[in-house]
Amino acid sequence: MVSVEIQFFRGCPTSSEMIQRVRKSIEGLDKVEYIETLVEDNDKAKAIGFRGSPTLLIDGEDFEGIPSPAEPSLSCRFYPKGLPTIQQIRERIIRQF
């Protein structure tokens, strides 16, 4: 079973796009546990080591290999190369099988 989790907060301008891409990337894949984690406040952000919205974790590892920050907080996440594509996400998930 591969765990695929998106951590986000409401109002994040890119979280809905990331959620759509991840949902499409797991279509037809068996043995995938999909989790959406809504981060509503700084306490939750600290508790989960929030890297910013949206964060994609596959089997608990950040998609880009970014470690949890020393001071997690409610913040947006910037992807220098843009959000991962559906194909990139799917390939990473399949490698976990």
pTM for this entry: 0.96
Domains in the chain, number: 1
Assess contact for 60 and 33: CB atoms under 8 A. Answer: no
- Give the CATH number of the domain where residue 56 resides: 3.40.30.10
- Name the pLDDT band for 20 (thresholds 50, 70, 90): very high
pLDDT value of position 60: 97
Distances (CA, A) of 11 to 15, 25, 49, 53, 57: 8, 23, 19, 10, 20
Average pLDDT over residues 31-44: 97
Residue 69 per-residue DSSP state: P
User: In terms of residue numbers, what domain contains 27?
Assistant: 2-95
Residue 47 per-residue DSSP state: H
pLDDT value of position 29: 96
Assess contact for 21 and 90: CB atoms under 8 A. Answer: no
